[in-house]
Structure 1
Amino acid sequence: MKLSYNSDRKVLGIEDDLKTHQLLMKFLFAITLINSCINLYGSNWSALGVFKIIWLFVGAVSLIVLYFLFFKESVQKEIPIDAIDYLKEKTVFGRARFTLKLKNGKYRKLASPRTEEDLNYLRNILKKAGVTIVR
């Protein structure tokens, strides 16, 4: 992940492969939802079996994940600073995770920094841009 801040345009630039990753996730969950619908389409609903319950569960999970991927996560590469609400930093299993909360209600995940230098660079560039950091 590469971060850059353009002070002239007041834009935070993020270079990572999140767009490709999210496209693959959308494709796989859509295929899973279609597969679930096909398996449930011609079934007899008078008797609920174990496989019907499993396919209902898999279809519901796929639908929920697709909702979050389409409506709650962003993959923008250039984000205006005035569109950022805050940066959320949390530690999970000893690794720092960063998420930008945008003012339109979406979230933009950032890749975890690999070294302490990358972590300090991330914090400094966001402080320079005037983004509030929430821990």
Structure 2
Amino acid sequence: MPSPLSDMARFAPACREVAFLEDFFARLRKAEKNGDFSLVRALVADDAILRTSGAVEPGADAVMAFLQVMAKNRWRIAIVGPKGGLISVLVSPLANDGSIGQSHEQVYHINHDKLVELIAIGRTPDMVYRPRSQPN
């Protein structure tokens, strides 16, 4: 029977990545309120990559521009699946009346406590979580 310590060692990277993203999104919300995105920028690697459905843009400036636009809107996040430095996040826009809009997936690639890649290609949950009976 494996020891609890071996289980902790196995799940420690995923827990660290989730904690990183929780801190990241807390900083993003705070930055939107006070206008200072330097604490968010500190978590983005200089050579980060932004992948959208329309383009691949290298550099932290592209990632930060995307995040600043995202921060201006109200949204709710759900961290879905951390695995090997990649974390899937469902981002759901919130309307002023409290209703929730169509969720879409973003994938965050984290390496050495820095965001190195943000993938936001507009996939919705029905595109992401397909039953086995419905192949791609």
Structure 2-normalised TM-score?
0.27
Greater RCO (CA < 8 Å, at least 6 residues apart): 1
TM-score (ref. length: structure 1): 0.27
Higher strand content, 1 or 2: 2
